[in-house]
Amino acid sequence: MTDILCPYCMNKITPGGIKYGCPNCGTEAHPSMIERARHMAPVCRQPGCDRRLATDRKCPKCGANLPSDILDYSKYLRFSILGISGAGKSNFLTTMLHEMRSSGLPWVLTPMDPDTQTVFRGNEKLIYEDAEPVPATPPGTPPQPQQWKIQDTKKMTNRIIPSYSLTIFDGAGEDQQNIDPKISKYIAGSRTLVILIDPLALPGVRRLVKPDVLSWSSSRASTHEAAADLVNGLASYIRTSANIKTGKLIDKDVAVVFTKMDAVFDSFGTATVTQPGPHVMRQAFMEADADAVDLEIRDWLMRQGEQSFLNAITVNFGPDRVRYFGVSSFGQPPTGPNRLGRVLPHRVLDPLMWVLAKEGIIPAKS
């Protein structure tokens, strides 16, 4: 492992650059040459600490406490959830993580820090115990990275369990004027971008949906932005973050994920996207299924008169690197204002399975 990423400031750090702190007195301890070379924690020489090991690892750039196993990650996964306000980011993120933990996949998913744990537990309780959607994230909330560790028990040997760090920002894509520098670094360094789109924000789709379902599925009054403007807005956010000139294609793989599919299932009949996804059960990314879903959604957009949406995606991201997904965090529309029926998330792991397959963590099968 050559480059380590600080999960908090997204700066690259070298193993030799890591700073060490004493958990007893809090002062910085300096490793000897040998300790440095072996990535060993130095001893604290402060009076009263009795040569206790200075085991706290700190980022030299931002000073954050690094996970104790920072050197053991074999991959840094960055799962960027981008989307405008109301797209369904917070609810999607919560159900995706919950499903990942309860799906029977051979992974152990652990929060890397207390904040991640608190935010996730709170949101999980709302959806799964109180049957309420996660409320709109208050505007101006600084986007906090959620830090998870995935341990792959299927690939574990006597000596090691491969582990990956998974960083997710909830709140990216919002404020075009004040893009958080951490998020910029993170987007620039992401191989895949996951763009969440609320289908109910597309004028051609809104007319398919009953007014009550429409109002229970939207946190704020819709701005009725034209579909192309919506895509161009997100694209310009990505360009600014990753420093990509207007007119140049954004050279990243993109998952365009339609959320809230429950509200529009009727218009899909018995199409593949309405059926449970096969990826989790097969523990692989099943390409034929994903191709069918991709085609169905493109086709459906055309039928709803949303060609301009497709065009805007192609103009910004090119014709070959985009995959369309359809998910529903709840599995069915809310049953009232802030009220959920039985929550059975639908295909929420599909985009992540694509990312994992591209990273070589799970196989892709045709």
Ligand X SMILES: Nc1nc2c(ncn2[C@@H]2O[C@H](COP(=O)(O)OP(=O)(O)OP(=O)(O)O)[C@@H](O)[C@H]2O)c(=O)[nH]1
C-alpha of 350 from chain center: 12
Is residue 272 near Mg ion by the rule CB under 5 A?
no
**What is the distance between the alpha carbons of residues 63 and 42, in angstroms, rounded to a whole number?**
17
Cβ neighbour number for residue 201 with a 10 Å cutoff: 21
Is residue 260 near ligand X by the rule CB under 6 A?
yes
Is residue 87 near ligand X by the rule CB under 6 A?
yes
CA–CA distances in Å: residue 316 to residues 67, 81, 237, 325: 37, 18, 12, 18
Residue 127 has which token pair? 């959806």
Q: How far is the CB of 134 from Zn ion (least distance, A)?
A: 28
CB 333 within 8 A of CB 300: no
Which residues are within 8 A (CB) of 14 and not within 5 positions of it... i.e. 6 or more apart?
Answer: 3, 4
Up-side HSE of residue 51: CA atoms within 13 Å toward CB? 0
Q: Map the footprint of ligand X across residues 148-207, applying CB under 6 A.
A: none
> By CB neighbour count within 10 A (0-12 exposed, 13-18 middle, 19+ buried), where does 18 fall?
buried
Q: Binding Mg ion by CB under 5 A: which of 80, 90, 151, 304?
A: 90
Q: Compute how many residues bind ligand X; rule: CB under 6 A.
A: 24
Q: Checking DSSP bridges between strand 107-111 and strand 145-152, what pairing results, if any?
A: antiparallel
Count the helix, strand and coil residues of the chain and give each as a percent rounded to the nearest 5: 35, 20, 45
Residue 324: which of 283, 282, 281, 271 has the closest Cα?
Answer: 271
Q: How far is the CB of 180 from ligand X (least distance, A)?
A: 14
For ligand X, the closer CB: 126 or 310 = 126
For Mg ion, the closer CB: 83 or 204 = 83
Q: Which stretch binds ligand X (CB under 6 A): 160-168, 228-236, 293-301, 325-333?
A: 325-333
Q: Map the footprint of ligand X across residues 220-249, applying CB under 6 A.
A: none
Letters for 127-156 (x = contact with Mg ion by CB under 5 A, - = none) are: ----------x-------------------
Q: Which does 22 bind (CB under 5 to 8 A by kind): ligand X, Zn ion, Mg ion, none?
A: Zn ion
* Binding-site ranges for Zn ion (CB under 5 A): 6, 8-9, 22, 24-25, 44, 46, 49, 59, 61-62, 64
Q: Map the footprint of ligand X across residues 299-318, applying CB under 6 A.
A: none
For ligand X, the closer CB: 6 or 254 = 254
Q: Which stretch binds ligand X (CB under 6 A): 42-50, 79-87, 107-115, 287-295?
A: 79-87
CB 267 within 8 A of CB 274: no
Q: How far is the CB of 64 from ligand X (least distance, A)?
A: 25
Q: Binding ligand X by CB under 6 A: which of 31, 42, 67, 88?
A: 88
Q: Which residue is it, tokens 């060609």?
A: 307
**What is the distance between the alpha carbons of residues 338 and 163, in angstroms, rounded to a whole number?**
37
Residue 360 has which token pair? 């070589």
Q: Which does 44 bind (CB under 5 to 8 A by kind): Zn ion, Mg ion, ligand X, none?
A: Zn ion
Q: Which stretch binds ligand X (CB under 6 A): 1-9, 36-44, 121-129, 330-338?
A: 330-338
Q: How far is the CB of 54 from Zn ion (least distance, A)?
A: 7
Q: Binding ligand X by CB under 6 A: which of 328, 349, 354, 355?
A: 328
Residues at the interface with ligand X (CB under 6 A): 83, 85-91, 133-134, 136-137, 217-219, 259-260, 262-263, 328-330, 333-334
